[in-house]
Amino acid sequence: MSGKQRVNGVIVAIDGPSGAGKSSLTKLLAARLGYVHIDTGAMFRAVALMARRSGIACEDDPALAELCQRLEIRFQREGEICRVLANGEDVSTAIRSEEIGLLTSCISARKPVRDALLAMQRKMGEEGGVILEGRDIGTVVFPDAEVKFFLSASAEERGRRRWKELTERGETVSLQETIEKVICRDRQDESREHAPLRKAEDAIVIDSTSLSIEQVLEVMERTVREKVAAN
């Protein structure tokens, strides 16, 4: 079987709700395959951070469109670390707070923001050899991606993982509250009008609730390598 030829390899799309393990898995898989990792959630977070700093309300579409026009987002790799640069400023840490996470859920539902980032993401990924993680990669950004995964896990497990991450970072949060926030974010991401979180029909579903990272990684790596060989 022969698929579309891209300059640097295939496109791998990884979608799923927050806390399903997308970021850790994408990072590891990209390192194993020698592929570029594009964290599209970080791009939406960068827009939210800049909107917040400029005092732009989540519903102010004209101001958001203008902000996106002026915004250049880049990923800069230094060994294991991948930094997110917004107009040249390293915003990697600032975009990870709970507050920006919740604001991002609202900002990422706005059409001008989605349109602007869609164009950027397609440009970043079109030559292949990339793994893009997000919510609508397999359905909207690259519906013709050669490999699509949809990662999921129960809301309780995803909330527990998020709580552990925040606690390790020194933040004091309750487990129950963290689970509730995960459920709330899922609802926002699934019910929005533009590019809602949805599984592509041809995506391979992996439920990681009771699987280790290594187990999931093995399945993903094998699947991509088989696809590359068949291409």
Q: Which is nearer to ligand DC, 198 or 227 (CB)?
A: 198
* CB 114 to ligand DC: min, Å: 7
Least separation, in Å, of the C-beta of 23 and ligand DC? 7
Cβ 230 to ligand DC shortest distance, Å: 27
Q: Which of residues 169-208 bind ligand DC (CB under 6 A)?
A: 185, 189
Contact set for ligand DC, span 37-66 (CB under 6 A) = 40-41, 44-45
Question: What's the min distance (Å) between Cβ of 166 and ligand DC?
Answer: 13
**Number of residues near ligand DC (by CB under 6 A):** 13
CB-nearer residue toward ligand DC: 82 or 228: 82
What would the x/- binding string for ligand DC be over residues 75 to 114, using CB under 6 A?
-----------------------------xx--x------
Contact of 113 with 44, CB cutoff 8 Å = yes
Which residues lie closer than 8 Å to 178 by C-beta, 6 or more apart? 159, 160, 162, 163, 166
- The residue (of 24 and 226) whose beta carbon lies closer to ligand DC is 24
Name the residue nearer to ligand DC (CB basis): 205 or 230: 205
- Shortest separation between residue 33's beta carbon and ligand DC, angstroms: 20
The binding site for ligand DC (CB under 6 A) comprises: 18, 40-41, 44-45, 104-105, 108, 134-136, 185, 189
